[in-house]
Chain A
Amino acid sequence: MKLRTVLTLAAIAIPITLISLWMGQQAYSWMPPQASAESKLIDDLFSFLVILGTFIFLGVGGTIIYSIIFYRAGKYDFSDGPPIEGNVTLEVVWTIIPVFLVIWIAGYSYHVYSQMAIREPMEIVHLHNPMEMESAYAAPEKNLDTQENVTKGAPESAVVLPPEEIEVHSRQWVWEFRYPEQNVTSTELHLPVDRRVRLALQTEDVLHGFYIPAFRLKQDIIPNRTIDFEFTPIRIGKYRLEDSQFSGTYFAVMQADVLVESPDDYKQWLAQAANREPSAAYNQAASEYSRFSDKAIKPGWPTIVPAPAPLVNQPGATSLKTYSQ
């Protein structure tokens, strides 16, 4: 390559690199707050993907835009361009570079995933040799199947204490949480900060999806199965749990508040709730179902009758942020 070409390419690559790195920093601000140990890992991965993506977008898109601006035919110029039909070196290079990039992305993603150790549905795993596939392209630090994995970077208390076990019951269209040790039920999900949490996800009817954006975690819940799901909340605050797998008519209102509390507040809440008489929780779907619909367009189609409001020790908020008029 001529020196001039090298210099030109460098002059283009440097600003593109700088913009890409800057975008990678911006990427963190596009996400909800980092409320779980897992969210930090995922945000770092996303930032990396944004850096690579921006670089490729600006590089290729810039070349296309440059061509559109500078290689226009004159109004009366009906001649043809140079009959270049290919260039083997160039084609080999632009095949090998994406190969390396995707291996890099897949390896990094694999690494992050094994660090998260969220205990996805396992029952099929034991029928196979789970490690057969991965070892080919990435050397895991920890076996995916290791039960006692804790997300890297999680606080020490999350490692020392056994995981807090909570049952999650989903039905059309309400979430109910049960704390088996204290026999407390609630429609708010209270979680202790800096401690590993192990959820047992169950559904009584259709598929639902357990999704807390601030935790970056999601898992479908499947009938006739209990799916274990683990993570570590690290930031005290109030977040939202959303149903992420379409579950029928009132899918959009199947949400719940998630409260991450200090260990003391959490214990106190559990003790108080255990002494409270169960009462009917507010149920957005049931309330919309029983109300006369005043929507502009209503076909009056039959729908599944929402499950009755659960009787719980902690009925939670009386309304959701979103509501039907």
Chain B
Amino acid sequence: MTNIPIESIPVLGKNPLPPAWRKYFSFSTDHKVIGVQYLVTSFVFFLIGGLLSMVMRAELITPESDLVDRSLYNSMFTMHGTIMIFLWIFPSLLGLANFLVPLMIGARDMAFPRLNAVAFWMVPVFGILLMSSFFLPSGASQSGWWAYPPVSLQNPSGDLINGQVMWLLAVAISGVASIMGAVNFVTTIFKMRAPGMTFFRMPIFVWTVLSAQLIQLVGLPALTAGAVMLLLDLTLGTSFFNPEKGGNPLLYQHFFWFYSHPAVYVMVLPIFGVFSEILPVYARKPLFGYRVVAISSITISVVSLLVWVHHMFASGTPGWMRMFFMATTMCVAVPTGVKIFAWTATIWRGKLRMDTPMLFALGAILMFLFAGITGVMLGSVPFDIHVNNTYFVVGHFHYIVYGTITMGMFAALYHWFPKITGRMYYEGLGKLHFWLAFIGTNLNFFPMHPAGLMGMPRRVSSYDPEYAFWNVLASLGGFLLGMSTLPFILNMVSSWVQGKKAPANPWRAIGLEWLVSSPPPVENFEEIPVVIAEPYGYGKSEPLVSNAAAMTQEA
């Protein structure tokens, strides 16, 4: 696990390279290629999941169930949730981390490049497996992305190969792939840092990836085990969770949320990292309280392992358990609050330049602030008993998964687009994308809060007419959000093909990745950098590395 010198890989220098685009369809072990593979694949699934949600919003624009069959609607929200989590947010974040982490810590690749490639290629495999269940005679899974038994065990078709089995297989494979990724990232970050890159010189993005991947290592085995047990119940007739045979359906809920709540932090922590990277660049100030922000990431991942029952406050949980997990849940607010304050202080008295990445980052932070406040409300047991499983919860977590994570992902994609592709994107289209997405997100997800307070349950395909007003607004917002991806796609494709050539450091940013060319050469660094400063030295004009010239010399 040391950095292999470039001379030991003789093939690349001698043979003429194949056309650039072809490497993205090959079993490449280059972390940058794998990063792009993750990003593009996950974006395709993002569009599929988004289309499903737009059909759902079309169904919900009227109170009656009048567009799609109820069973189809149920499978749509199941697949929407599953695709967006396991095939958009997880892999897109892994893509970003794959591209950036080795560059940011001064490594030539990940610790286990081949494992990295295998983990990626499992994504299209289980993605296709999952999507193909739509074409089964029994239909795709219809039990929601929680797949709570006994509903998930009912299997009305009687077929052995049914949508639920395919879903469980896909989730189990996804779990295995993510564990592979987690092992790789944790090892890379611990073992492959460049000389001088101490823990407290690592960029916050690396800290947050580390925090997130540590959660994966601890939590994923629980989910994967739960999925396998449910699969055994469903196919072999075991009785882990089947109440008809004396199994305990509540046990599954604990298995599921023990991982799936921390999973939210797996998804959001790297985006906190993105904010912490982007704000200093466009505000021209060091990140406020760097060490505290770094430590609060680890704190969040530790506390996140002890809060899962807050998803079960209305379930079969006794009072003491509800009270205990209310207390732990509230604790998460503290390190998270510290981060928001640190970002606010970072832009305070800065020299702000509102380019597209900064717009997305600040828009996402504002929406995260709102989601954090409704999140603390949900942590309060008595209030949660009213809004649990209503649209209030749906509104809250969409402010996280879209308002914060997806918007933050767009911020990252614009910010590192020149580094990834070697081209500049079109600023005008980027700003158009931001405003459509910002308005669309709020129009789509804010009305879900009042609907939930009034009592509209989630996962319904028809509802009482008094909820109609807010649903019409949400549906219009949903369609606008769908439209907002068009300028993004146009921007990415046209910029990649014919955008202006990007210099090594178009944003005057500090960081190892900005010292190498755009796109970075294979193996990243000619000579491994020697780091001599903390990562956010804006306004201090001190060098980051001692061997800047040698490390970028072209071979």
Interface residues of A (CB under 8 A from B): 30-32, 41-42, 45-46, 49, 53, 56-57, 60-61, 63-65, 67-68, 71-73, 77-87, 90-91, 94-95, 98-99, 101-103, 105-106, 108-110, 112-113, 116, 118, 120-125, 128, 130-134, 137, 144-145, 205-207, 209, 211, 213-214, 216-220, 222-225, 227, 240, 242-253, 255, 288, 293, 295-305, 321-325
Query: In the complex the two chains form, what is the Cα distance from A151 to B44 in whole Å?
Result: 53
**A79-B315 contact, Cβ under 8 Å, with A64-B344, A95-B334, A244-B390:** no
Query: In the complex the two chains form, what is the Cα distance from A127 to B201 in whole Å?
Result: 49
Check B284–A80 contact: CB distance below 8 A: yes
Residues of the A chain whose Cβ atoms lie less than 8 Å from the Cβ of B536: 85
Residues of the B chain whose Cβ atoms lie less than 8 Å from the Cβ of A321: 464-465
Residues of the A chain whose Cβ atoms lie less than 8 Å from the Cβ of B115: none
- 8 A-B pairs with CB atoms under 8 Å apart are A53-B377, A84-B285, A94-B341, A102-B376, A224-B243, A248-B142, A251-B74, A324-B70
Query: In the complex the two chains form, what is the Cα distance from A225 to B323 in whole Å?
Result: 22
**A121-B284 contact, Cβ under 8 Å, with A249-B74, A324-B66:** no
**Selected interface stretch from B168-176, B347-355, B491-499:** B347-355
- Chain A proximity mask over B364-398: 1 for CB below 8 Å, otherwise 0: 01100110011011011111011011100000000
B-side interface residues, number (CB < 8 Å): 111
Check B320–A242 contact: CB distance below 8 A: no
Could you tell me the distance in whole angstroms from the C-beta of A245 to the nearest C-beta in chain B? 6
Closest A residue, CB atoms, query B331:
A102
Residues of the B chain whose Cβ atoms lie less than 8 Å from the Cβ of A216: 385-386
Check A42–B351 contact: CB distance below 8 A: no
Closest A residue, CB atoms, query B467:
A322
Check A298–B64 contact: CB distance below 8 A: no
**A206-B150 contact, Cβ under 8 Å, with A64-B344, A130-B319:** yes
B71 CB within 8 Å of chain A: yes
Residues of the A chain whose Cβ atoms lie less than 8 Å from the Cβ of B74: 248-249, 251
Closest B residue, CB atoms, query A223:
B243
Check B348–A91 contact: CB distance below 8 A: no
Query: In the complex the two chains form, what is the Cα distance from A207 to B248 in whole Å?
Result: 12
Query: In the complex the two chains form, what is the Cα distance from A122 to B290 in whole Å?
Result: 46
Check B69–A67 contact: CB distance below 8 A: no
Residues of the B chain whose Cβ atoms lie less than 8 Å from the Cβ of A113: 319, 322-323, 381-382
Closest A residue, CB atoms, query B242:
A223
Check A85–B288 contact: CB distance below 8 A: yes
Check A227–B316 contact: CB distance below 8 A: yes
B250 CB within 8 Å of chain A: yes
Residues of the A chain whose Cβ atoms lie less than 8 Å from the Cβ of B354: 68, 72
Partner of A60, one of B65, B341, B540: B341
Closest B residue, CB atoms, query A227:
B316
Query: In the complex the two chains form, what is the Cα distance from A125 to B318 in whole Å?
Result: 6
Check B389–A80 contact: CB distance below 8 A: no
Could you tell me the distance in whole angstroms from the C-beta of A208 to the nearest C-beta in chain B? 10
Query: In the complex the two chains form, what is the Cα distance from A133 to B353 in whole Å?
Result: 49
Could you tell me the distance in whole angstroms from the C-beta of B243 to the nearest C-beta in chain A? 4
- Chain A proximity mask over B70-99: 1 for CB below 8 Å, otherwise 0: 111011000000000000000000000000
Check A83–B64 contact: CB distance below 8 A: no
Check A83–B540 contact: CB distance below 8 A: yes
Query: In the complex the two chains form, what is the Cα distance from A73 to B390 in whole Å?
Result: 44
B157 CB within 8 Å of chain A: yes
Residues of the A chain whose Cβ atoms lie less than 8 Å from the Cβ of B385: 42, 118, 216-219
Residues of the A chain whose Cβ atoms lie less than 8 Å from the Cβ of B68: 295-298
**A109-B383 contact, Cβ under 8 Å, with A125-B319, A244-B390:** yes
**A246-B330 contact, Cβ under 8 Å, with A67-B347, A124-B318, A225-B316:** no
B302 CB within 8 Å of chain A: no
Query: In the complex the two chains form, what is the Cα distance from A269 to B324 in whole Å?
Result: 43
Partner of A109, one of B151, B157, B381, B459: B381
